[in-house]
Amino acid sequence: MNIPMLDLKAEYALLKDEIEPAVCAALAACQYIGGPNVKAFEAEAAAYAGVKHAISCASGTDALLIALRAIGLQAGDEVITTPFTFVATASTVVMCGATPVFVDIDPRTFNLDLAQVEAAITPKTQAIVPVHIFGQPVDLAPLKALCAKHNLKLIEDSAQSFGADYDGRKSGAYGDIGCTSFYPSKNLSTFGDGGLILTDNDKLAAELRVLASHGSRIRYHHHVLGYNSRLDEIQAVILRIKLKRLDDFNARRIAIADFYNRLLDGAVETPYADGKGRHVYHQYTILSDRRDVIQKALTEAGIACAVYYPVPLHQQEMFAATHGHVRLPVTERTAQRCLSLPISPMLQDAQIEQVAKVIKSAA
């Protein structure tokens, strides 16, 4: 039996009876933009995350771009971030005319190596954007202290970690601004694109709303260059239903990771949870010198797997001119050895055993 990376069909079958009538009701109500479900979802998401303001937008990419614009990022500025992430974390910095400064990662957590961050701060640095990669919270307290010391903004990229906890707060609620994505593969996902921006700061919240709405405070009056970035009513309906299940789904991801850990112990390097926060396993990512052999064996057995990320950002063609000289050895080595396995709240124990069996025979 084939095993997908993420079993969206099984998830849909589970939620269908709740989702379909709710979507049909929203279709009939005809308030497709700025409707009641968008407002309700923003309130529910803010309550869930424990923040004053949750501003919905069209994608996680837009959430980051709008957050960076809201803190006033502009040409000549620098933003410190990780090279081991999806491109949007850094492309949005470039979209503001600023430069991403990549700091190497911790070989065990795959998150920013905090010991190297301060040395990367220059007079041009405006913000630090940690990414809670694969669902594991970055140890944010030292970063917050650094930001306070150097007068920088802390913007969390929580696209992969919605529902994770750190120091009693939800992912995205600890920094000045938190950004998340509802892309279909995410822990809280919808049936298309969507994003959310979290903040406790009233002034930033007002600015974020203006930027997401064509730079307009008063209808047809445009104060700054903004964006058309909206979550639509249908996606909001789906997100409201799925938000209620998020904690259960994340708990199942954690249980699956524990089971994988037990089965794979000794065969490959299993993910390291540093215990600083609650890891919600957006991905379950192993390391092995025999990564390519394992990947081939899994593929031949009909088991999906993926390399996140094969090319670190500082080695991407789009950054060749600006970052071609940069060497980040831990990130580069991780990109050659990492492999993400199927993980989905719907995964059955027998399937996990099947995946582990193939890996052990190839490792």
Ligand X SMILES: Cc1ncc(COP(=O)(O)O)c(C=O)c1O
Residues that bind ligand X (CB under 6 A): 59-61, 85-86, 88-89, 131, 157, 159-160, 181, 183, 193, 195
Q: Name the residue nearer to ligand X (CB basis): 54 or 362.
A: 54
Q: Name the residue nearer to ligand X (CB basis): 133 or 256.
A: 133
Q: Name the residue nearer to ligand X (CB basis): 179 or 356.
A: 179
Residue of this chain nearest to ligand X (CB atom):
60
Query: Cβ of residue 186: shortest distance to ligand X, in angstroms?
Result: 7
Query: Cβ of residue 156: shortest distance to ligand X, in angstroms?
Result: 10
Q: Name the residue nearer to ligand X (CB basis): 126 or 181.
A: 181
Query: Cβ of residue 214: shortest distance to ligand X, in angstroms?
Result: 19
Query: Cβ of residue 123: shortest distance to ligand X, in angstroms?
Result: 27
Query: Cβ of residue 293: shortest distance to ligand X, in angstroms?
Result: 27
Q: Name the residue nearer to ligand X (CB basis): 99 or 160.
A: 160
Distance CA 130, CA 207 (A): 22
